[in-house]
């Protein structure tokens, strides 16, 4: 038994009501809606539908913390049992999900690459592919999946936002801005398109325009999921920093960047990132680090994404409690021994971590010596240009400090 989804693709062992529930999830996912969790009840009611259970599993794992993998377990079991009845497209998605479960994200992306080449109509799979390309720091793949979406979905809501971000991360700024603006003409609530245009404006130093743009779009975010709501407000705060309006950035932090879901890793790294930037500018942030640090400590043994770990490490190093950051660094060195997947951890994360520990200990010259050799390859830890720019700002602070010391000696 199978039915057709909203892309006219077959979904095995899914009656019409289950497929309707899956379509609702697809729309919520593509639009960053707040009701993604409705998929779990659909998958629970249809344990023999491998694709539904695979998507329920990846949705849990996209939490990006240990709890997500734990919650995914029953859906992975059902997916495996049902996979023998799946069609070829579904089997590829199940294979990608299986790789994801083992944290082999490169293999996950490889399966999604094959799947979306053969079935570019599956916009949901393309979106998941972009998610992994982003976390792997693969800007070319990010763009490739965005372009692939245009083959079938040229006039569909939320597709142009995907294209816009891929273009921006590949420095095609004019095209990215145009695609993002067109996306909002199709769907004014395309929060990912809002985000892509914000990236263009940030890259080009158009901070006043950026602040106005996000203020203009922000009325649509209340109906969105926490990730995009937090992250777009993070960009809004970033524009305030560029304009020297640190008090407004602090207000955005208090009202929008912390407290909605403190257990969520994305909220944690966004909070660390903003507090880090504020203090680089000499802003007194009070006790705002305290609740963030409490959550970060619970992530110290997970090591899911390099980009996340650098933020967790910074928070621990800044706290300066004896041994915490050093234990974390030791775990990163262990992670670096895990074959090809450990390459980024060893070649980039270990020296970056050593730099952040030195920086927070006041050894800024040592921090600069660790950061300088890796800056050109730092995109491979994941994150966007804007997110990684905090490392540039940190290096600049180190170099400024070293220059001042040299001038004093002279």
Give the tens place of pLDDT for each residue, 35-58. 999 999 999 999 999 999 999 999
Q: Residue 410: which pLDDT band, with cuts at 50, 70 and 90?
A: very low
Residue 225 CA to residue 130 CA, distance in Å, equals: 18
Q: Are the C-beta atoms of residues 166 and 180 closer than 8 Å to each other?
A: no
Q: Residues 350-364, buried b or exposed e (16+ Cβ, 10 A)?
A: bbbbbbbbbbbeeeb
Give me the pLDDT at residue 63, please. 98
The answer for 4, left when phi > 0, alpha when psi is -120 to 50, beta otherwise, is beta
pLDDT higher than 70, residue 335: yes
Share of the chain above pLDDT 70, in %: 97
Query: Domain for residue 45, yes or no?
Result: no
pLDDT higher than 80, residue 340: no
Mean pLDDT of 310-336: 96
- The contacts of residue 257 (CB under 8 Å, 6+ apart) are 230, 233, 234, 237, 267, 270, 271, 274
Query: Domain for residue 20, yes or no?
Result: no
pLDDT higher than 90, residue 279: yes
First-to-last CA distance in the chain? 81
Query: Domain for residue 170, yes or no?
Result: no
Give me the pLDDT at residue 405, please. 60
Query: Domain for residue 77, yes or no?
Result: no
pLDDT higher than 80, residue 343: yes
Q: What is the pLDDT of residues 400-409, one digit of tens each?
A: 876 666 556 4
pLDDT higher than 60, residue 166: yes
Query: Domain for residue 132, yes or no?
Result: no
Q: Are the C-beta atoms of residues 122 and 115 closer than 8 Å to each other?
A: yes
- The contacts of residue 129 (CB under 8 Å, 6+ apart) are 109, 112, 113, 116, 141, 145
The two three-digit tokens of residue 301, written as one number? 């043994």
The CA distances from residue 140 to 21, 287, 374, in Å, are: 33, 40, 20
Give me the pLDDT at residue 342, please. 75
Q: Are the C-beta atoms of residues 224 and 36 closer than 8 Å to each other?
A: no
| Range(s) of the domain holding residue 333 | 299-410
Query: Domain for residue 326, yes or no?
Result: yes
Q: Residue 322: which pLDDT band, with cuts at 50, 70 and 90?
A: confident
The partner residues of 3 in beta bridges, in order of sequence, read 11
For helices 385-409 and 265-280, give the axis angle rounded to 10 degrees.
30
Q: What is the pLDDT of residues 216-258, one digit of tens each?
A: 999 999 999 999 999 999 999 999 999 999 999 999 999 999 9
The SS3 of residue 382 is: coil
Query: Domain for residue 17, yes or no?
Result: no
Residue 113 CA to residue 303 CA, distance in Å, equals: 25
Total H helices, total E strands in the chain? 22, 2
Q: Are the C-beta atoms of residues 94 and 77 closer than 8 Å to each other?
A: no
- Output the CA angle 196-200-205, nearest 5 degrees: 145
Longest Cα–Cα distance of the chain, Å, equals 81
Give the mean pLDDT of the chain. 96
Q: Residue 76: which pLDDT band, with cuts at 50, 70 and 90?
A: very high
Q: What is the pLDDT of residues 193-225, one digit of tens each?
A: 999 999 999 999 999 999 999 999 999 999 999
Query: Domain for residue 355, yes or no?
Result: yes
Q: Residue 339: which pLDDT band, with cuts at 50, 70 and 90?
A: confident
Query: What is the total count of domains within the chain?
Result: 1
**pTM here?**
0.96
Give me the pLDDT at residue 338, please. 86
Q: What is the pLDDT of residues 63-73, one digit of tens each?
A: 999 999 999 99
């Amino acid at each position: 038994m199978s039915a057709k989804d909203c892309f006219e693709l077959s979904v095995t062992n899914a009656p019409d009501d289950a497929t309707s529930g899956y379509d609702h999830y697809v729309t919520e996912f593509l639009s960053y809606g707040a009701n993604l969790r409705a998929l779990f009840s659909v998958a629970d009611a249809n344990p023999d539908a491998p694709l539904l259970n695979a998507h329920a599993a990846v949705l849990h794992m996209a939490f990006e913390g240990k709890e997500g993998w734990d919650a995914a377990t029953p859906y992975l079991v059902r997916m495996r049992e049902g996979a023998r009845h799946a069609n070829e497209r579904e089997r590829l998605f199940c294979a990608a999900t299986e790789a994801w479960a083992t944290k082999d994200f490169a293999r996950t992306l490889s399966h999604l690459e094959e799947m979306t080449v053969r079935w570019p109509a599956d916009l949901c799979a393309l979106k998941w592919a972009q998610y992994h390309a982003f976390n792997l720091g693969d800007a070319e793949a990010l763009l490739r999946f965005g372009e692939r979406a245009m083959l079938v979905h040229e006039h569909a809501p939320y597709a142009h936002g995907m294209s816009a971000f891929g273009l921006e991360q590949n420095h095609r700024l004019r095209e990215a801005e145009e695609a993002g603006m067109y996306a909002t003409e199709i769907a004014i609530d395309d929060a990912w398109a809002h985000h892509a245009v914000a990236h263009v404006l940030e890259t080009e130093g158009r901070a006043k325009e950026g602040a106005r743009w996000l203020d203009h779009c922000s009325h649509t975010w209340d109906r969105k999921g926490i990730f995009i709501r937090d992250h777009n407000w993070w960009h809004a705060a970033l524009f305030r920093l560029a304009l020297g309006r640190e008090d407004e950035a602090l207000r955005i932090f208090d009202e929008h960047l912390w407290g909605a879901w403190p257990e969520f890793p994305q909220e944690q790294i966004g909070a660390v990132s903003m507090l880090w930037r504020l203090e680089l500018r000499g802003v007194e942030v009070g006790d705002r680090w305290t609740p963030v640090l409490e959550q970060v400590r619970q992530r110290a043994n997970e090591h899911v994404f390099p980009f996340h770990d650098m933020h967790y490490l910074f928070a621990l190093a800044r706290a300066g409690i004896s041994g915490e950051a050093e234990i974390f660094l030791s775990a990163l060195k262990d992670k670096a021994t895990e074959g090809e997947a450990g390459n980024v951890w060893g070649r980039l994360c270990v020296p970056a971590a050593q730099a952040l520990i030195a920086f927070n200990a006041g050894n800024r010259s040592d921090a600069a010596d660790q950061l300088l050799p890796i800056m050109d390859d730092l995109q491979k830890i994941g994150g966007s240009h804007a997110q990684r720019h905090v490392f540039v700002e940190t290096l600049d602070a180190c170099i400024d400090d070293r220059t001042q010391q040299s001038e004093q000696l002279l």
